[in-house]
Structures are given as C-alpha cells and as structure tokens.
Chains A and B, each alone.
Chain A
Amino acid sequence: MFLLIYSTLFALTVVFALGVLVFRNTVKSAISLVFTMLCIAANYLLMRQEFVAFIQVIVYAGAIMVVFLFVIMLLNLREPESPAWYLRGMRYWGGALAFLFFFVLAWGIQVFSVADLTPGAAALEELRRESGQAEVTQLATLMVTRYIVPFLLTSVLLLVAVIGAIVMARRKDEDGRDITFDEDEEGA
C-alpha cells in the first residue's frame, strides 16, 4: 500500500516536471510547475518533514510562482520562436546530458546519504519516536518558547519590508507630482 502511494507520487512528480518542459504554452508550463511543487511537498510529508512541506506549498507554490507569473506577464506571452539553426540539435544532447546528470545524482545520493545508518542519527530518530512528537511540533514549540524573540522580530522585519517596498516604488512625491530625476551630482 505504502509502496503504491510512494510510486504513484513519484510518477506524478516526474510527469508534471516533464510537463513544464514539454508544453509550448507558457501558462500551461507554469501550471504544471505548480503541480510539480505540490507533489514535492507531498513527498516531504511522506518523509515526515512537515515543516519543509508547509514551506514548499506556501513559499514555492505560492510566492515563487507569483514571481514566475510576474515574469510571464512582463514578457507578454509571445508566440514561441523557433530556435536558431545552431541550437536545433541541442534538445537531444541536452536530454542525454540531463539523463547522465540524473544518474550521477542518484549515485551520489546512494553513496553519501548514510544518515540513517549512523549511530547519532539513529539515536535521534529513536528519541523522536519515543517522544511521540512530530518534528514540526518540536520546532513550533521551540519557536514560541526559547526562540520567542527572533519569532517576534520577524514581524518587525516584515513591516520594514512593506514600508521599504512602498517607499521605493512610489511614483508621486509628497505634493502628488510625478517623481523625476534631478540633474544633481550627489545626494543631499
């Protein structure tokens, strides 16, 4: 059963990732990217990394996608151009290289990820299981107790960012006139 869920999810992730490349329509591509990211989030959940899954959904599927859409909007959805003559064959070479890279990565992960076999990590995992706490709950509890100051300071940071964005992007000055550059040499 578990294997079925895993393999379905992996297959879906790969299919959507391929969709990003295959679709000629930019919006369809972007939508597949959203689904790819959601699938990756589900993968994280299966690995019991709940916090990373949240971040994946909120930051990647939400925030990063907004930036993507922003770029798409700026480029005004032109018709895809046909590649120049010297780039025609690149698709196959690129595909071959990507496959090669996949195997290198897979090999690397297999060789280097021995985290579960080491005594320290195993002990930590044992402790986690004993405590019966999800990792995200541990993180959350720490954030509201020991790390309360950085937690609250982020609100100030976000407020400063809001003010900064609006100040720097303003187009009218205090009297409602359009802002244009002076011919000054230096700031006041």
Chain B
Amino acid sequence: MITPSNLLAYTPIEQAYLPVLVMLVIALGFCAVVLILSPLIMKGKPSDAKLEPYECGIPTVGTARIQVFVRFYLVALLFLLFDIEIVYIIIWALAMTHAENAQVPGFVAFSMIVMVFYVVVLLVGLLYEWKKGALNWN
C-alpha cells in the first residue's frame, strides 16, 4: 500500500522521477481546485465581456469555422513526419561511426542493413505520396 512513510523512502537514483510525480500531482490538483472552487465562489452576474468566448485576451474577430485549404495541413504534416525520421537517422549515424563501435566485427555491416531497411520503408511512403499527388500543389 502507498503510505506516507514509503512515499518519502525514495532512493537517491530515483529522485529523477520525483519531480515528474510532483508535477503530476500539482497539475491534477490545480485542475481539480479550479473546477471545484470557481462555481463555489462566483457570484453569477453575467455581462457582455464575461459571456464572450475566451480566445487569448483580445476581443474575438470573425468566426472560428473558417475553411482551410487542406493542402497546407498535408504539407505541414508530411514535413513533420520526415523531420522525425531525421532524428532516427542521426542516432543511427552516431552509433555506426563511433570509433569503438566500428571495431566490433560485423557491426558496421549490420547497421548498414538496418538503415537500408529503415530507409526503404520510408522511401515507399515517399513514392506513395508522389504517386498520389500529395506533393502536387495544384
């Protein structure tokens, strides 16, 4: 069971996680307090300014239901995906070119095969996009 005593009995190396837990408790607590307190202490005198939907502080302009050209969204999303891919390729490159790793027999060949697999799968995605005309602006 969770008791106050073993709540405090964390071991040093695990302290890295304690702030995350504290943050979680604060976040949940904050939401709970705000949701519970505000109906309790509010007076309920509506005015124009209060009834306005809150956007970011400045008065709202126009309607939120605007037509968006879906092409923007698609290009942004595809950029995101191939951007993430770069992270993994950097990781792979670091592992392969590290001097000690390169001396391990077979490791370079293995990691080359791994990356060929990785890139081929994503290449299929790129060719698919191309064929479907997702990269075509018109």
Contact = CB atoms under 8 A, between A and B. Distances in A.
A141 B85 CA distance: 17
A64 to B, nearest CB: 9
Question: In terms of DSSP, what is the predominant structure of the interface of chain A?
Answer: helix
Contact of A54 (B80, B87, B110): B87
B98 A141 contact: yes
B13 A166 contact: no
A98 interface: no
B134 A166 contact: yes
Interface residues of A, number: 51
Contact of A58 (B70, B87, B111): B87
B87 A55 contact: yes
A57 B124 CA distance: 26
B73 A169 contact: yes
Interface in B40-83: 49, 57-59, 61, 66, 68, 70, 72-74, 76-81, 83
Nearest to B115: A144
Interface in A113-128: 114-115, 118-121, 124
A114 to B, nearest CB: 7
Interface in B74-129: 74, 76-81, 83-88, 90-92, 94-96, 98, 100-101, 110-111, 114, 117-118, 121-122, 124-125, 128-129
Given A144-B92, A158-B81, A162-B81, A78 B61 contact: yes
Contact of A121 (B12, B77, B85, B98): B12
B92 A140 contact: yes
B53 to A, nearest CB: 14
Contacts of B87: 54-55, 58-59
A155 interface: yes
B58 A118 contact: no
A155 B79 contact: no
Contact of B128 (A81, A152, A156, A166): A166
B11 interface: yes
Contacts of A63: 79-80, 83-84
Given A114-B15, A158-B81, A66 B76 contact: yes
Given A58-B87, A144-B111, A155 B121 contact: yes
Interface of A: 51, 54-55, 58-59, 62-63, 66-67, 70, 73-74, 78, 81, 83-84, 86-87, 90, 112, 114-115, 118-121, 124, 133, 136-137, 139-141, 143-144, 148, 151-152, 154-156, 158-159, 161-163, 165-166, 169-171
11 contacts: A59-B87, A66-B79, A70-B73, A83-B59, A87-B57, A118-B15, A141-B98, A141-B101, A144-B92, A158-B121, A165-B74
